[in-house]
Amino acid sequence: MTGVPANGSAYRIRHLALEVADLEKAVAFYRTVFGMKVLRRRANPDRNDVAAYVGYGDESSEVSIELYQFLGVPTLPQLPSRSHVAIAVTHIETFFDRAVAAGAMAQVRPQNNRPGSANKFAFIFDPDGHEIELTESAMGGRG
């Protein structure tokens, strides 16, 4: 999705970056649990980090997740936060159970968004403690 502000320039969100302790473990998690593809990898010797970009489509038009690891430096502890990544899924109860079996930590089991709503949500943590909201839309579209 691209936004065009009043000055005529075009903007869009390219990626969301998540620091991880073990890049290969994180890549395997997002590939296994969410079916994401590795879009590209990069190494930055000047910053002493490596990264993999994962997602569902071409980075030129789709948002990706940059998973990055600083080499030889301990990761910072995750602070309590309300920040999270939201990913639309289908069959949220089955998906939730499969994600937990694959190494996600359960936080909030699937439930309706609010009384009377057929839309559902759940929360898990990835192996590095990043919060992920799972959403399912009763309309079958994006949650």
Query: CA–CA separation, 127 vs 49, rounded Å?
Result: 19
Query: CA–CA separation, 30 vs 98, rounded Å?
Result: 13
Q: List the strands of the sheet with 37-44, edge to edge.
A: 15-19, 64-70, 49-55, 37-44
Catalytic residue check, 62? no
Q: Which of 59, 62, 93, 133 is catalytic?
A: 133
Closest among 95, 15, 12, 99 to 54, alpha carbons compared: 15
Q: How many CB atoms lie within 10 A of CB 47?
A: 11
DSSP, residue by residue, 81-124: -S--EEEE-SSHHHHHHHHHHTTPEEEEEEEESSTT---EEEEE
Q: Catalytic residue numbers?
A: 133
